[in-house]
Amino acid sequence: MKLPKRPNDAVHWYMGQLTSRIVAESGRPDDRFHLGKMILQSFQDDPEFLMQIDGATGDSETSGSALERTVACANSLRTIGMGCGDVMVLMAPSHIDLAIPFYAAFYLGVIVAAVDRTLGVEELRGTFAVDRPKIVFCQSEKAPDIQLALNELELDTKIVTFDKGEFLCSFSEFLEEYNDGTSVEDFKPNDFDPEDAIALLIATSGTTGLPKAAAVTHKNFAINGPYLWSRCTTFPAPTRMALVGSPLQWLTAIMNFILSPIMKYTRLQTSIALTQEHAYDLINTYKPTFAIFSPTLMTTLIKPGDRDLCDFTSLELVILGGSAVPNDLIKEVKEISPDTEVMDCYGMSELSCIGFHGDGSSPPGSCGSPMGCFQYRLINTETMDDILEPNVPGELWIKGPGIFKEYYNNPEATEETFAEDRWFKTGDTFYRDAAWNFYFVERIKLLLKYKSNQISPVELENVIRQHPGVLDVAVTGIPDPECGELPVACVVRRPDSDVTAQDIKDLVKETLSDSKQLRGGVIFMNEIPMTASTKVHRRKLKEFALVMDKE
């Protein structure tokens, strides 16, 4: 019998052993939170370790190679005057070079802002107005748009292209021209206060409101990041290889980029989009043991008729997150690959990593139990009183050293999101059971307003998924001058299904109250629109609902 994995302290013992050696050498107690020194020490410990693979090209790199190149990059950044508190923007696919300035920045205390490389000039101008970068690393094809946005802001920002671009400094030229020649042996990372020094600017709220950048410090991530592996007992290498499908601007990629060299597991990434076909090829070829997927992407990967093309059995652990996770999806994955552990996980940029201990023995639908680095409250948003009894929903508030520092250059948003005594208001509705297992209910901003009623898209989606002809569904709303918003179901049929709009409406009518009926209609789609991180793209979904024919 396979015993369930439960949270334990092994990962913290491992991190303590690593950071104690760093502190013993530097004499600075706060270095136990210095991400750059952790990564540098990890590279030095095992130079032969296969650190990263680009599954699109087959290119790979060891820790020893990364050590040489990150030190050269840090030397070059110092030469052009980059230091603690300066901002570096990364805008590129996940090829082998992308991680080099990423890690080099942590050595120096330079702030890393990974930015969506599909943004247009106007969107870039808004992003750069907040970040105000001193250097941008990108692909040459994007450099003209970046330069236009920088010119409008009158920013004297250096642009370096990973590939060769006309009249531009390439990454290889940057390392050759500006590297001061300091050797790996003589190189010393910058000293700074990891509690105050920002490590990352992580984009957030891009599909439900105006984009903001969550400023995560070195200490925030150093404390919370290891909890991702709190159920494991084997260190280093709690897993052999992680498949990273999302681009670097998303937390799911950031977590693995930072933790993989420290924990000694190989990172399998890709410099092209993670389509269904490409995901199958990566899994079949490299046999990864760990992956984080959105429910929407997982639904696509296990589509009947297609899933036989992929051998999922190498995956020891699959974490599902980013939106509500249907229980039936977890069951279906387990049926396909019985030895794969599938967990419902809750995390967000503002928490630096995950929010709860995942536990293979948690009740169905639970995101897990409280972690030691956080305090938790559930708040009645009408009375602002604490909810003390189980099974009563309220807004989740969290407090602790893993909570982000601020929204960068946005004091108004920062003040709005923190209650008294630095309690972070997540904006998500949860409830807990009597055993303190927490259950995600809904993102408060996504609730639809029909007359005087609030409608949960997740509740509607869970009902519609029960129809055997439905593969996937996402619910949005369209404006109505008299009623506020009318719910619209965007449905993906299962192969060979002939489910009709009336079938969907009848199911909802039989199950839910009158206020929750699909008065906006039903739209049949080939696929649900997704963000680059494979979450449901709520903004695009609403745009489609406004213009597409509804039944």
Tell me, letter by letter, the H, E, C secondary structure of 341-361: EEEECCECHHHCCECCECCCC
Residue 208: predicted pLDDT: 42
Q: What is the mean pLDDT of residues 360-387?
A: 91
Evaluate if residue 375 carries a pLDDT over 90: yes
pLDDT tens figures, 480-531: 877 778 999 999 999 989 999 999 999 999 888 788 899 999 999 998 888 7
Q: Quick check: 533 and 250 in contact, CB under 8 A?
A: yes
Phi, psi of 202 (to 5 degrees): -110, 125
Q: Which residue has the higher pLDDT, 457 or 243?
A: 243
What phi-psi label fits residue 315: left (phi over 0), alpha (psi between -120 and 50 degrees) or beta? beta
pLDDT digits 0-9 by tens, 284-302:
999 999 999 988 889 889 9
What fold characterizes domain 10-229? Rossmann fold (3.40.50)
User: Does the structural domain 453-547 have CATH classification 3.40.50.300?
Assistant: no
- 72-90: per-residue pLDDT in tens? 999 999 999 999 999 999 9
Phi, psi of 378 (to 5 degrees): -115, 130
For the segment 88-142, what is each residue's pLDDT rounded down to a tens digit? 999 999 999 999 999 999 999 999 999 989 888 988 998 999 999 999 999 999 9
Q: In Å, how far are 121, 143, 204, 392, 489 from 138, measured between CA atoms?
A: 14, 7, 21, 48, 38
Name the residue ranges covered by the structural domains of the chain: 10-229, 453-547
In degrees, to the nearest 5, what angle opens at C-alpha 508 toward C-alphas 321 and 462? 15
Q: Supply the mean pLDDT for the chain.
A: 92
Which pair of tokens denotes residue 546?
């406004």
The residues, any chain, with a CB within 8 Å of residue 166's CB and separated by 6 or more, are 140
The H-assigned helical ranges of 307-456 are 327-336, 411-417
pTM greater than 0.75 (yes/no): yes
Which of 189, 161, 165, 166 minimizes the C-alpha distance to 97? 161
- Tens of pLDDT, residue by residue over 193-222, are 999 999 999 988 544 445 689 999 999 999
Instruction: Report, as an integer, the average pLDDT of 341-367.
Output: 88
